[in-house]
Amino acid sequence: MSNITIVERASDLSALPPDILLTRLNGFTRNTVFTGQYAGPGRGDLEQSFERNLAQIFERTDTPLLSGVQIKAPMFLSADGTLSPSIGRPFTHILKPAGTGGFEALPVIEWQSLALGSAAGFKTPATALVPMPDGMPPALLVERFDIRTSLEDKHLLALEDFCSVLGVPTEAKYDGTMERIARALRPLSTSPEEDVLLVLKRSLFAWLIADGDMHLKNMALLEIAEPGSTQFSSVRMAPLYDAVTTRVFRRLEKDRMALKLNGKDDRLRRADFKAFASTAGLKAADADTSIDDLVAALSRALNHLELPPPLSDGSQGAKMAEQMRAIVHERIEGFA
């Protein structure tokens, strides 16, 4: 669950800064690059944290998991465009800095993945690449979509990931299936047909961009309650987030889907997604149309995708972004 604070006394809440998004990222973005002032941690703190995460993951005997490596820092974007840690301030944005040891391009790959997702028709949060100090590669800044955008708005919002929805612990986030998600989603969603169809499209998108990290915590419900109500008036699939082509990274070259679909996590074909649609109770015609539309939209988006100027200089990030586009192109061409 997100955006929930538990206190001993109701009076304690008044001392906490409310997480309300008053400054939008789009106002300080040009050509997908952040134009405000970065006032966050520098190379030393970020690289030390990243390398500590990396060491812990590589102690495992199985394939390292991308989600265990990435740093996500809570940030606050002020009215004058200053981006600073959300210590004693509202938490409005998430900063994802570059890593080390082959993960330097992680923010760029995620930016490109979300750009493709947006162009393919998915709702995505506002993002920007942030020029970093000390010669660091750019970081990715993501705007929160699970908080209010006005002081007058009294709605209650909650982002509930599918570990919580399914009642499983975080360590089991790779143990589910897309069919299980669809079964749990249908009775909860206030627009079940649209949302179950969205699960189909999200699964197909993850396969086509070779995203091996779409686990139960990277899919969620966005739940909204009216002021004073004891139940949610809207329960819908949350926007696309944490999407990234994993196969371009070190030791993840043979990465598979995080969650199985039709009993498979690799070598998926159109027949597998149609089988999922049937199991999930979707109309065959709706599934066919959605599959065709998504493949066509993603193909068009891939042909028009351009890196922003800071990355069009032959950098490692640019090279890995090109490698990612080649993987996606191959997946689209081979999809049948």
- In a domain? residue 301: yes
- pLDDT confidence band for 161 (50 / 70 / 90): very high
CA–centroid distance for 49 within its chain: 21
- pLDDT confidence band for 311 (50 / 70 / 90): confident
- In a domain? residue 217: yes
CB atoms within 10 A of CB 171: 8
Average pLDDT over residues 319-323: 93
- Tokens representing 34 are 């952040």
Interatomic CA distance for residues 67 and 189, integer angstroms:
27
CB atoms within 10 A of CB 313: 9
Q: Which residue range forms the structural domain that includes residue 218?
A: 10-334
CB 160 within 8 A of CB 223: yes
pLDDT tens, 221-260?
999 999 999 999 999 999 999 999 999 998 889 999 999 9
More confident: 17 or 299: 299
DSSP 28-89: GEETTEE-SEE-S--HHHHHHHHHHHHHHHHTSSS---HHHH---EEEEE-TTSEEEE-SSS
Distances (CA, A) of 227 to 152, 155, 217: 11, 5, 27
Average pLDDT over residues 34-48: 83
pLDDT at 275 > cutoff 70: yes
pLDDT at 59 > cutoff 70: no
Averaged confidence pLDDT in the chain: 90
Average pLDDT over residues 63-89: 81
Q: Is 134 left (phi over 0), alpha (psi -120 to 50) or beta?
A: left
Q: Is the dihedral of CA 204, 207, 210, 215 positive or negative?
A: positive
pLDDT for position 64: 44
pLDDT for position 131: 93
Q: Of 40, 141, 44, nearest to 100 (Cα)?
A: 44
264 forms beta bridges with 261
From the number of C-beta atoms within 10 Å of its C-beta (0-12, 13-18, 19+), residue 119 rates as: middle
84 forms beta bridges with 76
Interatomic CA distance for residues 79 and 87, integer angstroms:
17
What is the pTM (predicted TM-score) of this model? 0.91
Average pLDDT over residues 177-201: 98
More confident: 330 or 15: 330
- Tokens representing 71 are 């740093």
Structurally, the chain folds into a number of domains equal to: 1
- pLDDT confidence band for 145 (50 / 70 / 90): very high
pLDDT for position 63: 45
Q: Is the dihedral of CA 259, 263, 265, 267 positive or negative?
A: negative
Average pLDDT over residues 311-324: 83
Place of tokens 């490109």: 112
pLDDT for position 43: 77
Place of tokens 């390292």: 64
CA–centroid distance for 221 within its chain: 13
- In a domain? residue 193: yes
- Which of 236-246 are b and which e, b meaning 16 or more Cβ less than 10 Å from the residue's Cβ? bbbbbbbbbbb
- In a domain? residue 1: no
- In a domain? residue 101: yes
- In a domain? residue 4: no
From the number of C-beta atoms within 10 Å of its C-beta (0-12, 13-18, 19+), residue 329 rates as: middle
- In a domain? residue 80: yes
- Tokens representing 21 are 């998004």
pLDDT for position 304: 92
CB 162 within 8 A of CB 181: yes
More confident: 291 or 55: 291
More confident: 67 or 204: 204
- In a domain? residue 5: no
